[in-house]
Chains A and B, each alone.
Chain A
């Protein structure tokens, strides 16, 4: 045994001498819900990560990447925290990423501060998360990016005077409500009612909440629910209660027109107006390449959605950190590298990390759902460029 190990050592030394230096391995801990209610989202982000590695094989230079995956299961934050703890203490990862649900990121923030590990958020959208730790940077979005933009667009483009807001009762839902209200009322609109509609963990029966919204007779009904099955339920209920015939327009953030769920929404969704930072119908070369490669890998009916692209861009950010720091990742160095980082080859158009807030700066696209050849397609009808997180920009509430 001993001689064999010696032999191996010698062999290893020999090969290193030959290449000049040992290729550094960087360990990336990925915390995503691979089971439970968010399993589909976990899969999207995970595929986004894989696609980045596949389409950009040289992005990490000579450094090796080892990805360690952990399941964050329920959206409560507790499981994610345990996963992060294990990744830091047992697997000794260099950088943490993933985080679908805001509670997951919120619960993990104090751990990464203590352990001095950089954390790159690939989804969790509660605005003030980036203020919880100087080790956190976000490549996804804050609810304020699209929420504020939607409020503005509802008043200026849709010409609505009154709005009812329905939201899932958890931090990003309340963020969306505040962001929309601020953007809408700053442009002359009035929010006449705000309805909490159950939690994010399970899809509630939306009928009573939509009934209440219908009774208030607003011009627009702005809805924030988590992407996925919630969104399908929203559109179905909107159609079933005849709210369109009652003259109430359904608007929302792109969460409710998530690409992977789009085709299952049916004709009730036609005419839906959303604002978001990505949809699979965006017309740019990087996106066309990603969509084509995605369909080739995962099947013709598969499609990337905004979460997949966030996984993709998150990996681009991590590659930038690793190459800038020459494989020796520390939290401070990582944040320095990310501040002001620009990435023009993102499928969602040019993005940048705000040097002040470590949060993303990106375009927001206004789109309308139309039916083309039997398929639902997001027709892009406007773009607002280089949008920052308005919550931190306006120093609202907990974003101070």
Chain B
């Protein structure tokens, strides 16, 4: 087995999982809201990115920015108009509502664009192979790893070093205390929700080359996004980062080594992990 190639392949798909899932982790940690439609935002972002490149001739980075902005804006509208009504509802209601929203998204995209899968037209500098000196590897995977790492650093700095990051951390740890200290958790949530959905959109576009992009996307990868959040812990950027990488790499290695049962192992491992640490990798016990 070519160990380094396998590792790089796994890291690249782990980065996609991270970019999509990080928003889900933070919003779930913040409000305890189970948003199963999170993958739907990733899909919508992916479509916005692919279609704006195809029809308006936007460059890949410009399309990513557009996808981020469009989906973040849409998510604010949905959050204020729909999600806000369900914050105090039971978890079952939240799950039913968000899964219903996923079906609406799937049907809308199928109707508007069609059932076939979409391809990202990668710019020439991301296509093909890059010579790393000791081996040649897919340029796009390397770019994904770089993007994911930079994003992780930016989010980490934002969470640890800025005022708004401190507020989010405070609200995740103890919402009532944060509120009584004057933190407007509702507004904070709208902001985080938009940021998380926007990041999911970027993940949908960046990951389309690897995960594909078609109307069934939100349901197909829902389990993976939830596994990442469950293993990483709620509201933990670093936790989600390492969980996503761990799952990406494990899934990749298992598929290379045992293609007959690769997907089964990942579920079994998650089950075992959560039995041992139900609070996730970095979560605090009893939180």
Contact = CB atoms under 8 A, between A and B. Distances in A.
A211 B136 contact: no
A197 B255 CA distance: 9
A342 B10 CA distance: 53
A145 B140 CA distance: 38
Contacts of A209: 255-256, 259
A229 B212 contact: yes
Interface in A209-255: 209, 211-212, 214-215, 228-229, 232-233, 236, 239-242, 245
Nearest to B255: A208
A40 to B, nearest CB: 6
A181 B6 CA distance: 27
Given A215-B2, A242-B136, A195 B259 contact: yes
A264 interface: yes
A205 interface: yes
A204 B253 CA distance: 15
Given A203-B212, A208-B255, A229 B116 contact: yes
A209 B214 CA distance: 21
A248 B36 CA distance: 42
Nearest to B6: A211
A146 to B, nearest CB: 23
Given A195-B259, A229-B214, A242-B136, A211 B119 contact: no
Nearest to B5: A211
A197 B210 contact: no
Contacts of B6: 208, 211
A202 B116 CA distance: 11
A202 B220 contact: yes
B20 to A, nearest CB: 14
Interface SS, B side: helix
Given A240-B140, A264-B119, A211 B211 contact: no
Interface string B8-37: 011011000000000000000000000000
Interface residue range, chain B: 35 or more
A232 B213 CA distance: 13
B158 to A, nearest CB: 30
A211 B9 contact: yes
B138 interface: yes
A203 B115 CA distance: 13
Contact of B13 (A207, A214, A233): A207
B117 A229 contact: yes
Contact of A207 (B129, B210, B216, B259): B210
A208 B256 contact: yes
A39 interface: yes
B141 to A, nearest CB: 8
Contacts of B141: 207
Contacts of A36: 115
A377 B209 CA distance: 25
Contacts of B127: 240
A35 interface: yes
A111 interface: no
B1 interface: yes
A241 B138 contact: yes
A208 B252 contact: yes
Given A205-B210, A215-B2, A240-B138, 8 more contacts: A202-B214, A208-B10, A208-B251, A211-B6, A212-B1, A215-B1, A240-B140, A245-B136
19 contacts: A36-B115, A39-B115, A40-B116, A196-B259, A203-B212, A203-B214, A205-B212, A207-B9, A208-B251, A208-B259, A208-B262, A211-B2, A211-B5, A212-B255, A229-B214, A232-B119, A233-B212, A242-B138, A264-B119
Task: In the A-B complex, list the 3 residue pairs whose CB atoms are closest, starting with the nearest.
Answer: A208-B255, A229-B117, A39-B115
